[in-house]
Structure 1
Amino acid sequence: MRVLLFVFILFPLLELALLIKVGSSIGVLTTLLLVIASALVGGFLLRIAGPATAWRARARLLSGEAPEQEMLDGLLMALGGFLLLLPGFLSDVLGVLCLLPFTRHLLRKRLGLRAQRFAQSSTHADHSAGAAQPGQEAPKQSRPQIIEGEWERRDD
């Protein structure tokens, strides 16, 4: 909930404050040119990231390997391009962080660890929900209830 509050309320306010501050320091025209240039770079990167990622993933699939690294790289590059498309300097900084290979590697590693923890916690929750407590019976496997019957279609 806090993340949504930040994204929808605080992030645009921070972007606006930063644009005003930069505009007052370097001038309105220069600020507008920087915003437009970053949007053009973001659009260009979005056009390139998709096909390039698809080709790398296809090459990994043909070699018999899972392309999870390429897919995550493509996702981060697309996110970086999208953030560059947004007007503002804070989103541009976050977009560049998603595009740089070093920081993209760190983000990919962190997302992988988070996904592993999530998978372990959901697996642990599944096992603990189905486990019998001491002194209780083991829960029965639930089967779908089947009701047999006959039906007839009548078109009037």
Structure 2
Amino acid sequence: MRFLFLLFIVVPALEIGLFILAGKTVGGFATIALIIITGILGAYLAKRQGMEVIRKMQEQVRSGYPPGEALLEGVCVLVGGLLLVTPGFITDITGLFLVLPPTRKLLQPALLKLFKSWISRKQIYIYR
């Protein structure tokens, strides 16, 4: 419940505050242009990295290995791409961390630990 509060109330409020601050600092037109540019760049990066992850998954399956790590990368790229397309500076920075390979590699162990804890607490069910 706290996560949803953060996601739907706190983050948009912070984004609005940053929009106002950016508008006062660099001007309204530059702020809007920056939002549009990051959205376009985010869509491009997400598509490029997503295709790379799909190729990696296919390669792992062809080699006879389960694509576990590639699936986690795919989730990171998908969520990062959605965050990059969403207008806002906080979401853009978070999305960039999830889309770029070096930072994605740093975040993956923590995400894997989070998913394992969700599974152990039966917050996520795996159907076979």
Compare relative contact order (CA 8 Å, sep 6+) and give the higher one, 1 or 2.
Answer: 2
Query: Structure 1, residues 58-89: CA drift from partner, whole Å, max 9, x if none?
Result: 10011111111111112211211211111111
Q: CA deviation at 1:16?
A: 0.5
Work out the CA distance in 2 between the residues paired with 1:80 and 1:23. 25
CA RMSD of aligned residues (A): 1.7
Which residue is equivalent to 1:94? 94
Work out the CA distance in 2 between the residues paired with 1:116 and 1:14. 30
Q: Which runs of no fewer than 5 residues in structure 2 stay unpaired? A: 123-128
TM-score, reference length from structure 1 = 0.71
1:73 aligns with 2:73: yes
When you count helix as a share of all residues, which structure comes out higher?
A: 2
Identity %: 32
Structure 2 counterpart of 1:76, one-letter code: C
TM-score, reference length from structure 2 = 0.85
Work out the CA distance in 1 between the residues paired with 2:27 and 2:53. 38
Work out the CA distance in 2 between the residues paired with 1:7 and 1:79. 14
Q: Which runs of no fewer than 5 residues in structure 1 stay unpaired? A: 123-156
Q: Is the 8 A contact 1:45 1:78 kept in 2?
A: no
